[in-house]
A and B are shown apart, each in its own frame.
Chain A
Amino acid sequence: MPHIRVTVDGVRYDDQVEARQLLTHYLRERLGKVGTPIGCDTSNCGACTVLMDGLSAKSCSVLAAQADGHDVTTVEGLASDGEWHPVQRSFHENHALQCGYCTPGMIIATIDLLRENPDPSDEEIREGLEGNLCRCTGYANIVRAVRDAAAQMRASGTAPRFVSEPGTGVPRQAAGEGEPLRPAARGGAA
């Protein structure tokens, strides 16, 4: 069984995993990170989206073994010091969720979208979130929330907190808190 060392939401884990275990199952069943739900088995819905080294990845399409040496952020790791991430706040304030099942993935995908494009047009938002399906909202308020979050983040100069140094798996926010993980080959996951 592969041995992995992975940082999830700022905490380091050393684990033996089955070679075939999906990252999403590792997160949910081994680490109890059930905030990341599973919506399909074809990587179409995006509900299970997490950040790997700051880039969005569908955790149903990544093997746990491939996360070795990487830094994973789930929806449960977004808030800091009791403060919601601006995208979380914006989803709440714009009523961008109803049942909320797609919401963790939608929020994570939004964070990655705004990292790439801090000032997206409505069309760019819609295309940027194409990989994340929602069945409740008709997306209207999601688009509004993303626009709103973008404006807030630009105004406050919010740094892209979840981007790691490429290839190191060391999240910037966690730097200095422990030994850096050894560099690992990227598994083509992100």
Chain B
Amino acid sequence: MTMTPDAPQLGQARLRKEDARLITGQTTWTDNIQQVGTLHVAFLRSPFAHARITNVDVSAAREQPGVVAAFTGADFAGEQGSLPCAWPVTDDIVVPDHPPMAVEEVRYVGEAVACVVARDAYAAADALEAIEVDFDPMPVVLDMEEAVAEGADLVHASAGTNKSFTWPFSAGDVEGAFSGADVVVTRRYRQQRLIPAAMEPRAVVCRPDGDAFTLWSATQIPHVLRVMLAMTTGIPEHKLRVIAPDVGGGFGSKLQVTAEEVLALLLAKRLGKPVKWTESRSEGFQTTHHGRDQIQDVSIAADSDGRIRGLKVDLLADMGAYLMLVTPGVPILGAFMFPAIYKMDAYSFSCTGVFTTKTPTDAYRGAGRPEATYAIERIMTELAHELNMDPMELRRRNWIAREEFPYTTIAGLTYDSGDYEAATDRAMELFGYDGLRAEQRARRDRGDTVQLGIGISTFTEMCGLAPSRVLGSLSYGAGGWEHASVRMLPTGKVEVVTGSTPHGQGHETAWSQIVADRLGVPFEDVQVLHGDTQVAPKGMDTYGSRSLVVGGTAVVEACDRVVDKARRIAAHMLEAAEGDMEFSGGAFTVRGTSQPAATIQEVALAAFAAHSLPDGVEPSLDADSTFDPENFSYPHGTHLCAVEVDTATGAVRIRSYVAVDDVGAVVNPLIVEGQVHGGLAQGIAQALYEEAVHDADGNLVTSTMADYLLPSAADLPDFTTDRTETPATTNPLGVKGVGEAGTIASTPAVVNAVVDALRPFGVHDVRMPCTPERVWRALSEAGSGGGAVAGSPTSLPADSRASAPPGASAYDEDEGGAQ
């Protein structure tokens, strides 16, 4: 008899199946893959942010020890194609040609202009020095506002403009909402440029197999990559096998079709040998796509009692030098999220995508939705301040009440379920809101150097990407479905094939739990297969918190089809009518009898032997499903942050952080909690630490992990996390997705807290990241009565180079304390 599990697997904190290989070092990172005769590739990269290439000579490099070949962009001009942009958001969008290796012009520092192929990586790197390149420098374009001004220097001269597109949206009577409102608050927020920085650098290995190719890549998207490589290079899709082996994090940075992947394929083809390239960290920081980078002009109109009338959003979004896979779509994903959990009469949105001579931007954890959530949660807090209202009270007055679901927002999304009251009540309780407010008053009253601030973020997001027809209506180039196969092996063990290729999310464990429950087989009897287009031939991969919602549902449907097929054979085995079969705990029984049962694992053996199957029944229980969701899913939550800000030094310390998330039903609470923790860390990092900085020539100044401040364990607090559970109504598991929630929620919670601490000093904004210097300057400028942040809500704060360093003149505590 089968070992029927005692309890349902769903909801259990099962330890991860993935861990065994990861904690013992038995991993297959792409850089671990060794093919006999492998050649190593190194790229010569542009030291200029914008220049014409007048000459490239690789002949001397070819003579270097160990070098097998060296190529220029011109050598590939006929076959390298243009790197794909799959999301041309408007009909008239400017999509510039994007050769994987530059031929005539370079448009950001780090763009590849030549390459060396050698017997080992050291020799390849050495030989780069023998390449001669002549560049004719051209004007750099670094500032988005200058880029869209009349007469600006152009990134792409042939386009005649630095504007890629303008994407508008409007609903309701916006002008009426604003003209009739009691209060209008207008702010400018700056989403700094971020570097995703997955711990595993990008790497690619490509091996020719006759007229076919196997390509291993540290990618989130082996399936999308395969299609795009075929379309870009003209190598037929059925001759390409793409494998994403163990992948060490992505956060969107590996949701890309990169120059190096295309060139590795072309080099393997040309040389007839396996080739390999692994980025160095600084190379990756310069060339792997960046995230965020928007200027957000936001206005909100409300009645004196706090009721929101309307919202206007105007964005400039930095595309960087080229449009990559989903670059233009990132801010558009945010377009629908600015109204967030709030009811309002009118909403308008406009986004202009701008070219600059910087590394292209693209998806980074949350992709558009963190930016939107930041802006709305910040400006709601400012509105509360203007109305002299508690910021949570303002939110309560405007959010969608639990009895109003399903609710169609002003942006046109239908939120299927939610309970903002429950999540908020739980968060307030865990946080000790009233006690912290009392302490804040006491510190303010006594003019404490260290002030306390409380920040709120009541966020939601749209994820579970995505209904294919909606993606189509937004001009996205592909669908949003996901595929799964369930294969019953003769011994009753189960192989589950998922198209949603993970890179740290724990699919092997979570999918096993789903299958164990659905088929009634032991958790240990399930093996999850993924990441190889020959093993998992169909898929849309992992991003946008979609895997469980879309891919998990495909697994459920495939399991149900297996059970249906098994039912017919079981009925035959038990000599009963199919309609009398009951299936529970992995076993079929005849209703109302005490006949012995047939387990599904026994049926699998019977199907394999195929000696006695009913007429017309195939000897297989295997089944597939390709699931296309009808709606997005809408996780939500309430995050509360308390910070201590030292007004003398500007240092910010997170004192406590409470996150109560509602991600619907939960398959594995351990994995969910881990995802929330990691998301919080990345959101907090945007608020306090991280920023990609360029100098006046367009060089990335923060090009190493010493300069770009990824937080360490010592920089982050412990988190208090809890959940409320309002199941999604749009999928059979009731799940909503959790991969991005923490990141989306936490950034505004932290900045709201920092600003809250400084409010008595006349500070109403601090530009991210809220470093000690920025905080100190905001205080200093507000204290002197005229800081750009405090005085002018529509302009950016002065940049850090404008005045003396912190400590040059101490903040005047008396002046601040008196306000």
Question: A-side interface residues toward B, CB under 8 Å?
Answer: 18, 20-21, 28, 33-42, 44-45, 47, 74-76, 78-79, 84, 88, 91-93, 95, 97-104, 107, 122, 125-127, 129-143
| Extra A-B contacts (13), CB below 8 Å, given A74-B25, A99-B199 | A20-B122, A41-B281, A42-B704, A44-B704, A45-B281, A76-B26, A98-B504, A98-B674, A100-B504, A101-B198, A133-B712, A138-B678, A139-B716
- Interface hit among B11-19, B492-500, B519-527: B11-19
Identify the 9 closest CB pairs spanning chains A and B, nearest first. Answer: A35-B25, A99-B504, A100-B22, A101-B248, A138-B681, A138-B677, A44-B705, A40-B281, A34-B32
Q: How far is the CB of B15 from chain A (nearest CB, A)?
A: 6
Q: Once the chains bind, are B25 and A129 in contact (CB under 8 Å)?
A: no
Bound: A44/B705 CA distance, A: 6
Bound: A125/B714 CA distance, A: 8
Bound: A33/B618 CA distance, A: 47
Residues of A within 8 A of B18 (CB): 100
Q: How far is the CB of A43 from chain B (nearest CB, A)?
A: 9
Residues of A within 8 A of B560 (CB): none
Task: Contacts A99-B247, A99-B249 given; indicate if A135 touches B713 (C-beta within 8 A).
Answer: no
Q: How far is the CB of B276 from chain A (nearest CB, A)?
A: 11
Task: Contacts A122-B718, A138-B716 given; indicate if A18 touches B122 (C-beta within 8 A).
Answer: yes
Residues of A within 8 A of B32 (CB): 28, 34, 37
Find the A residue at minimum CB distance from B29.
Answer: A37
Q: Once the chains bind, are A34 and B24 in contact (CB under 8 Å)?
A: no
Residues of B within 8 A of A78 (CB): 24
B483 on the interface (CB 8 Å rule)? no
Q: Once the chains bind, are A99 and B713 in contact (CB under 8 Å)?
A: no
Total chain B interface residues with beta-carbon distance under 8 A = 55
B312 on the interface (CB 8 Å rule)? no
Find the A residue at minimum CB distance from B246.
Answer: A100
Q: Once the chains bind, are A137 and B674 in contact (CB under 8 Å)?
A: yes
Task: Contacts A99-B247, A138-B719 given; indicate if A41 touches B199 (C-beta within 8 A).
Answer: no
Q: Which of A92, A122, A134, A138 has its CB near the most chain B CB atoms (within 10 A)? A: A138
Task: Contacts A92-B16, A127-B714 given; indicate if A98 touches B200 (C-beta within 8 A).
Answer: no
Instruction: Among A21, A47, A142, point to the contact of B199 (Cβ < 8 A).
Output: A47
Residues of A within 8 A of B197 (CB): 135
Instruction: Among A74, A84, A101, A138, point to the contact of B29 (Cβ < 8 A).
Output: A101
Instruction: Among B25, B199, B680, B718, point to the contact of A135 (Cβ < 8 A).
Output: B199
Instruction: Among A18, A100, A126, A141, point to the contact of B714 (Cβ < 8 A).
Output: A126
Residues of B within 8 A of A35 (CB): 24-27
Task: For chain B, residues 672 to 725, give those with C-beta under 8 angstroms from any C-beta of chain A.
Answer: 673-675, 677-682, 704-706, 710, 712-714, 716, 718-719
Bound: A134/B505 CA distance, A: 14
Residues of B within 8 A of A131 (CB): 712
B31 on the interface (CB 8 Å rule)? yes
B503 on the interface (CB 8 Å rule)? yes
24 contacts between A and B (CB under 8 A): A20-B122, A35-B26, A37-B31, A37-B200, A41-B282, A42-B281, A75-B24, A84-B24, A92-B19, A93-B15, A95-B674, A99-B198, A100-B27, A103-B23, A126-B713, A132-B713, A133-B199, A133-B705, A134-B713, A136-B249, A137-B678, A139-B712, A140-B677, A143-B713
Q: Which of B197, B681, B682, B712 has its CB near the most chain A CB atoms (within 10 A)? A: B712
Instruction: Among B199, B504, B713, B714, point to the contact of A39 (Cβ < 8 A).
Output: B199
Q: Once the chains bind, are B705 and A38 in contact (CB under 8 Å)?
A: no
B506 on the interface (CB 8 Å rule)? yes
B670 on the interface (CB 8 Å rule)? yes
Find the A residue at minimum CB distance from B717.
Answer: A140
Q: How far is the CB of B22 from chain A (nearest CB, A)?
A: 3
Residues of A within 8 A of B714 (CB): 126-127, 129-130
Q: Once the chains bind, are A95 and B16 in contact (CB under 8 Å)?
A: yes
Bound: A129/B716 CA distance, A: 12
Q: How far is the CB of B654 from chain A (nearest CB, A)?
A: 12
Bound: A88/B20 CA distance, A: 9
Bound: A91/B670 CA distance, A: 13
Q: How far is the CB of A122 from chain B (nearest CB, A)?
A: 7
Find the A residue at minimum CB distance from B502.
Answer: A99
Find the B residue at minimum CB distance from A37.
Answer: B29
Q: Once the chains bind, are A125 and B506 in contact (CB under 8 Å)?
A: no
Q: How far is the CB of B749 from chain A (nearest CB, A)?
A: 14
